[in-house]
Structures are given as structure tokens and as C-alpha cells.
Amino acid sequence: MRRLLALSLSLLLLSLSACALFPSRDPLHINVVGIEPLQSQELEVRFAVKLRVQNPNETAIAYNGVALDLEVNGRPLASGVSDQSGSIPRFSEAVIVVPVSISAFTVLRQTLGLSQTQTLDNLPYVLRGKLAGGAFGTMRFVDRGKLSLPGSISGTW
């Protein structure tokens, strides 16, 4: 019984010290910096979403995949994935481009959800995503804001 207790205590201490071996990281700063149209199919619209990823950490961040989900006005609008890989050096930044798709039915649902007094400008958006980096390296992020459509009176992207 004493051996079992000693073994359990040893495993507990070993697991706690193993957590200290993993460096703590500050969260990445990720913002949408651009959206460009891509070639689309019949019942979908495609865009390239440009994300600026800032790494405020002392070590490089390696990634091997990106996934995005975009909500506008509280409703799902677009999603996209990319298998691109790369590394963001310490105290540095990079722009990552991810293609996203919007189905015609989603656009219709979004349009029907707008009141007659609402415009497409200044609608709230939430972008959720993740940078894949292995079992312990996947980093999730959220960016929130208001859409400012190109050519509108109140501003630009």
C-alpha cells in the first residue's frame, strides 16, 4: 500500500513538473486586414480573407493549417480552411490568406434577417478560427468588429 501511495505521489509530482517544461505563451493578436473576391461557382461566393497574425512571444510559432468561421449580425455566413504551413518568428507578424465560401442560401438567409432599416454597413461580425500546430500547439482566436464596406460613406475596410 505504501509503495502504491509513493508511486502515485511520484507520478503526480512528475506530471506537475512536466507542465513547467512547456513554455507559457501570450495569446496571438489576429485581425482581419482585407477581403478580396475569388473565382466562384454557381451557388456560392468565395473570398480570400487576409489575417494579420502578430506573435508577441519570445519563440517562433509554427502552424500547419488554418480554419475560419465568420458570423455576421449573429448568424453564420462563411467558413474556410487552408492546409498552408509556416512559422511566425518571435516578436514578428505575418499575413495569412484563407479562402472562405458563402453559399447563395446563406446570403439569402442573411438578407432576410435584416430589418428594412438596416444596411449592410456597420453590421457586427465575429471571426473564430484556429491555427493548427500539433497536439499542444493549436491556437484558437476570435476577432470582433463592425463591417465597413468599401465605398460606403462611413468608411472603408
Q: How far lies 51's CA from each of 45, 46, 99, 142, in Å? A: 19, 16, 11, 12
Is 66 inside any structural domain? yes
Share of the chain above pLDDT 90, in %: 34
- The pTM of the full predicted model, rounded to 2 decimals, is 0.70
Q: What is the CATH number of the domain that holds 99?
A: 2.60.40.10
Mean pLDDT of the chain: 79
Quick check: is 11 in a domain? Answer: no
The pLDDT value given to residue 157:
41
Q: Is residue 5 part of a domain?
A: no
- Residue 14 backbone dihedrals phi, psi, to 5 degrees: -65, -40
* Confidence (pLDDT) at 134: 63
Residue 4 forms part of a structural domain: no
* 44-55 and 92-103 beta bridge pairing: antiparallel
- pLDDT digit string (tens) for 99-152? 999 887 777 776 676 655 455 567 888 999 999 986 567 888 888 888 765 554
Q: Is residue 77 part of a domain?
A: yes
Domain assignment of residue 54, yes or no:
yes
d(CA 56, CA 59): 9
Residue that wins the pLDDT comparison between 56 and 75:
56
Domain count, the chain: 1
Q: Output DSSP code: residue 23.
A: P
Range list of H helices, the chain: 2-21, 104-113
Beta bridge partners of 86: 63
**In a domain? residue 129:** yes
3 domain-assigned: no
**Average pLDDT of the segment spanning 39-52:** 89
Question: Can you give the residue range of the structural domain that contains 53?
Answer: 25-146
